[in-house]
Amino acid sequence: MDNALTDLIKISKTVGSDLTLVQGGGGNTSVKTADGKFMYIKASGTALKDMSADKGWRKIDIAQTLSILKDSGLAAMEVSKREIEIVNRLSFCCVDDLKNAGRPSVEAHLHAILDKYVIHLHPHIIGAYVNSKTGRKIIEKLFSDRKKPILWIDYTDPGFTLAKEVSKMVSEYTSRYGFGPEVLFLEKHGIFISANNAAAAQKLVGSVIKTCGSELKSVIKPAKVKPIAGEIIDNARLSVRRAFFNALGKYVSVSHFLDAEISAFMARKDAKELLSFAGLTPDEMVYANGPAVWLENCDTAKIESKLKSQIAKGAKASAAFLVKGLGLFVAGKISEHATIRDIVKMSLFVRSCAAKMGGINALNSREQNFINNWEAEAFRKALVGGGASGGELKDRIAIVTGAGSGLGRSLAIGLAKAGVNVGLADIDTVSAKQTAEMIAKELPGIATLVLPCNVTNADSVNDAFAELLNKWGGLDILINAAGVAPAFSLTELPVDKWRFALEVNLTGYFLMAQKAAQIMIAQGIGGNIINLSSKSGIDPSKNNTPYNATKAGELHMSRGWAMELGSHNIRVNSICPGNVFEGSKIWNPEYIKVCARKYGIKPEEVIPYYVSKTMLNREIKGQDIADAAVFLASDRAKMITAQTLVVDAGQAMVR
């Protein structure tokens, strides 16, 4: 491997692992080859810490990259078209043979102007200065004794315009001093460090951060975190989620964060005032959609009103809310929550510091509009968020019981394909984790959560839902799929097997539905409960007393629950599958032997025999049942409740 690439990976992992230096997967690094003809640079949307020998970087031709800046025709182009054109040209500058490697950093032409090693970061300590009205004055004083003076770049729109401006200023700097700049401070943005060797570049990063940090030690004093009852936080999460649904018709997940730094900011008398200033950096605008909204209390109506007002003004809906005394609530796609938290916490720090240094210097309206419409940042956000997740149930939250195998697994995967974030509840956590791995491999944009759960135990059920609320903040769909089928004739049925079936198939369904209904009612945006019954719940089967009874009972429970919950717009329906053999724990070898004896056939003839009993003469697959569940949970079925959908290839007739 080229020494330049080795250095790039090492530097990137070092600085990328320090969250005080980077947020949101941001920041860039580059290293030029020994002959000066090529440059290895971080790929857009890749977190620095995740770079490796086979991903996260591109190798580009420096001469071709610099030629982009010399094209006078680009400056005359309409901005949105120009930025896309530049992205395409930068891709053409790549000379590596990586597959699915992504774009080179949109700031590649800026890196090409500087020295051999370039590190571009957004440290929160630097943010305190570049977002302060007196930041430039203080920085120039702090570094006045440097042999190589710092270079301050006034705010310039990122991308092509910034690269052109930096190119001009670096040229003027070099003409004046006879050497290029090592440290560049970019107003409302971050810092560039440039050196001719790796050690010098990394040392310089530490030195600059230390110098700047020495002036800020007394600004932030972490406050003690006061414990808050879980019920209060859960209700606040549900309020935020309800506000988003009412205002935007969107299903969002909501996370809660509270630590010493957030507590310290909330304790400030000027907290609301500091958050009244607009977004400070591109990161804050792109990921958090502006500064966190200050709330005296978590009132749904106030949040809803705020969101509607933002949309009416053509702005993006805020993703972060700082509620006095409660902490930070982040709403949106699950995979983005941690990134938004980090960016908001940086903003709280920067605002606190900047307030003591002449005041906050935020992005103005024109600057905000450019960032909001910049395709490069939208692309980066999508990559950090794990890519788009489509489907008609996009971003909804579900729990599926028995998700570790059989129909439970098929239902979980089917919901994930429809865009649902799925809680995988199962007493067998190893199998549930396998389901999670299957979903992650096929659908990387979907979140899963393994929930250890014994559906017959109320405490275990409560713990599973508590974990779901703690991680995702709401619930839209419950599918009761965990079930057992002890096959005995009436005269040979052990009473413990009978009671076991009642516990799993009836008590389990009841406990899960009871807790789900409580959450859905409190959430106030409706929901869906789907009970997985069986063909045997309609037409009983021989030697199957516990299964016949419990599956019929599930149907009647569904109807009763639908009557109770309809006024809350919670729909309850049942699915009666026919015989689904694929991946089933029920259709195990022993059960198949029982069926073979029942019909006087060989075990290997059992599955063909059952298939032959259907009108369509086709084997039912797990995806067929999942398709039915997706339909019932969707808005296409918004007027369907208390009903039973039979998916059995035409074996039983609903009478």
- In a domain? residue 562: yes
Could you say which of 547, 591, 599, 610 is catalytic? 547
**255: helix, coil or strand?**
strand
Contact 485, 501 (CB under 8 A): yes
**Token couple for 328:** 């930070």
- For residue 121, pLDDT over 80 is answered with yes
What's the pLDDT score for residue 220? 64
- In a domain? residue 464: yes
CATH code for the domain in which residue 13 is found: 3.40.225.10
What's the pLDDT score for residue 223? 83
Q: Which stretches within 28-123 are classed as H helix? A: 62-69, 72-75, 79-92, 108-113
Of the two residues 100 and 59, the one the predictor is more confident about is 59
What's the pLDDT score for residue 377? 56
Both 641 and 574 in one domain: the answer is yes
In this structure, the number of other CB atoms found within 10 A of the CB of residue 605 comes to 15
Domain membership of residue 549 as a residue range: 397-586+620-647
Both 523 and 640 in one domain: the answer is yes
Rounded to two decimals, what is the model's pTM? 0.90
Both 263 and 170 in one domain: the answer is no
Both 375 and 475 in one domain: the answer is no
Active site residue 547: yes
What's the pLDDT score for residue 378? 56
- For residue 60, pLDDT over 60 is answered with yes
What's the pLDDT score for residue 283? 87
Average pLDDT over the chain reads: 92
What's the pLDDT score for residue 572? 98
Both 194 and 321 in one domain: the answer is no
Q: What is the mean pLDDT of residues 513-518?
A: 98
Both 350 and 462 in one domain: the answer is no
Q: How many domains does the chain have?
A: 3
- For residue 163, pLDDT over 60 is answered with yes
At 520-571, the pLDDT tens digits run: 999 999 999 999 999 999 999 888 999 999 999 999 999 999 999 999 999 9
**593: helix, coil or strand?**
helix
Return d(Cα 83, Cα 374) in angstroms, integer: 8
Per-residue pLDDT band for 25 (boundaries 50, 70, 90) equals low
Both 247 and 208 in one domain: the answer is no
Domain boundary among 166, 184, 213: 213
Contact 253, 397 (CB under 8 A): yes
Amino acid sitting at position 202: Q
Return d(Cα 393, Cα 332) in angstroms, integer: 15
Both 252 and 292 in one domain: the answer is yes
Q: What is the mean pLDDT of residues 225-236?
A: 93
Both 175 and 238 in one domain: the answer is no
